[in-house]
């Protein structure tokens, strides 16, 4: 591994420190090197706060003059909530900038690189570009497609059941798997469930990770506004709640929900009279919701897969067999007739977690 790759990997690792905290901004890490020694490093902590380059420059101080900076994404060139980072690099006297990839955000899109080159900085791009793009797969989906990055997650038995024939589901998987699930909630902007899940389980949909945890926006897909007014979601005050409905939801019901401080989004009805999921996701993206975690139920999961809306999947499989034709499965809906039409996971990763459960994750392209 040459020096450019080595220091860029360091920048990428630094960026990961802020996973789930920078939305709607990307995760970015920066490393400043002079005479073969790291003199400054930093990462973007949170949207609206200084960017990675600014933290690295502050750490380097006067040593930044004549140094090389490694940045996992093109430095910004526009005024947002913070000043342009490329101007800060020019002012500090950076001699060479090694950048993993250009930012596809139209507000940046090569302008930062152009400005630095015009100022006499040697700029190298494309170092670990694939790794940099995967690091910010959520950001790039939101920027380029105007849609959130959608992750589906389910916990099931070895025979694919999410509950017994009597509806018992607590707990199919181990404590370790559930903690992993809470971490997934923590790094996503929103968590989505269908109203039947709320009616059956009365979940909180919060992140139980202590002081370091972040609760996502809680979204319930509820075409007719059937969510119980006494449900935990509407009364615990732990995190905002958004209800996705259609015109079928009674107006007086919507008023009662609005009195609970519930945000309402109305979409057109799909062919089955349910919430139009592509329209819902588009409207969430317009509210700077860049990533969503779908936790069920089976009908909602089936619709998302059928509509080809999912980007990634996490399946936690407990080494248990419960059987039963009436026992619920992770994915419902009409299903497919031909195996050639099955949704296929790619880049599949499997792991045996502490507690004995099997994790299978991959991409749905």
pLDDT at position 225, please?
A: 94
Domains of the chain: 3-140 (3.40.140.10), 147-218+276-364 (3.40.430.10)
Is 252 a known active-site residue?
no
Helical packing angle, 52-60 and 85-92, nearest 10°:
20
Task: Say if residue 201 carries a ligand binding annotation.
Answer: yes
Nearest-angstrom CA–CA distance, 4 and 208: 39
3-state secondary structure of 126: coil
pLDDT at position 221, please?
A: 97
pTM of this structure: 0.92
DSSP 27: P
Task: Say if residue 208 carries a ligand binding annotation.
Answer: yes
Give the pairing type, strands 190-194 and 291-296.
parallel
Nearest-angstrom CA–CA distance, 234 and 240: 9
pLDDT at position 308, please?
A: 94
Task: Say if residue 43 carries a ligand binding annotation.
Answer: no
Q: Token pair 């971490």 is at which residue?
A: 183
Block means of pLDDT (10 residues each) for the chain, 365 residues, are 93 97 96 96 94 96 97 87 87 96 90 94 96 97 97 94 86 92 96 94 91 93 95 94 95 93 95 95 97 93 94 96 88 86 93 94 92
Task: Say if residue 101 carries a ligand binding annotation.
Answer: no
List 53, 74, 102, 266, catalytic entry: 53
Q: Token pair 């002079």 is at which residue?
A: 34
Nearest-angstrom CA–CA distance, 26 and 11: 13
**Helix (H) or strand (E) run with residue 187 in it:** helix 175-187
pLDDT at position 54, please?
A: 95
Nearest-angstrom CA–CA distance, 321 and 204: 27
pLDDT at position 257, please?
A: 94
């Amino acid at each position: 591994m040459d020096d450019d790759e080595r220091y860029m990997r360091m920048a990428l690792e630094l960026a990961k420190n802020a996973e789930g905290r920078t939305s709607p901004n990307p995760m970015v890490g920066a490393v400043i090197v002079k005479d073969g020694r790291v003199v400054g490093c930093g990462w973007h902590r949170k949207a609206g706060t200084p960017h990675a380059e600014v933290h690295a420059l502050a750490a380097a101080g006067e040593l930044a003059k004549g140094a090389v900076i490694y940045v996992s994404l093109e430095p910004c060139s526009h005024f947002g909530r913070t000043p342009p980072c490329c101007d800060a690099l020019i002012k500090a006297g950076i001699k060479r900038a090694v950048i993993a990839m250009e930012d596809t955000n139209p507000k940046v899109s090569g302008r930062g690189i152009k400005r630095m080159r015009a100022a006499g900085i040697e700029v190298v791009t494309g170092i670990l570009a694939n790794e940099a793009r995967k690091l910010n797969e959520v950001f790039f989906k939101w920027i380029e497609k105007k849609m959130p990055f959608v992750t589906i997650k389910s916990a099931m038995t070895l025979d694919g059941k999410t509950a017994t024939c009597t509806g018992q589901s607590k707990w199919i998987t181990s404590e370790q798997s559930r903690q992993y699930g809470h971490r997934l909630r923590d790094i996503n902007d929103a968590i989505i469930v269908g109203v039947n899940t709320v009616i059956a389980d009365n979940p909180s949909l919060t992140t139980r990770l202590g002081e370091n945890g972040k609760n996502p926006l809680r979204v319930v897909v509820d075409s007719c506004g059937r969510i119980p007014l006494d449900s935990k979601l509407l009364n615990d005050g732990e995190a905002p709640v958004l209800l996705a409905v259609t015109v079928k939801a009674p107006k007086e019901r919507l008023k009662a929900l609005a009195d609970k401080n519930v945000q309402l989004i109305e979409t057109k009805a799909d062919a089955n009279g349910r919430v139009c999921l592509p329209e819902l996701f588009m409207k969430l993206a317009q509210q700077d919701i860049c990533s969503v975690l779908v936790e069920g139920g089976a009908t909602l999961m089936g619709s998302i897969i059928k509509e080809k809306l999912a980007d990634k999947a996490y399946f936690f499989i407990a080494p248990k067999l419960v059987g039963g034709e009436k026992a619920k499965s992770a994915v419902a809906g009409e299903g497919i007739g031909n195996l050639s039409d099955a949704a296929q996971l790619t880049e599949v990763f499997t792991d045996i977690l502490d507690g004995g459960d099997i994790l299978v994750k991959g991409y749905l392209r």
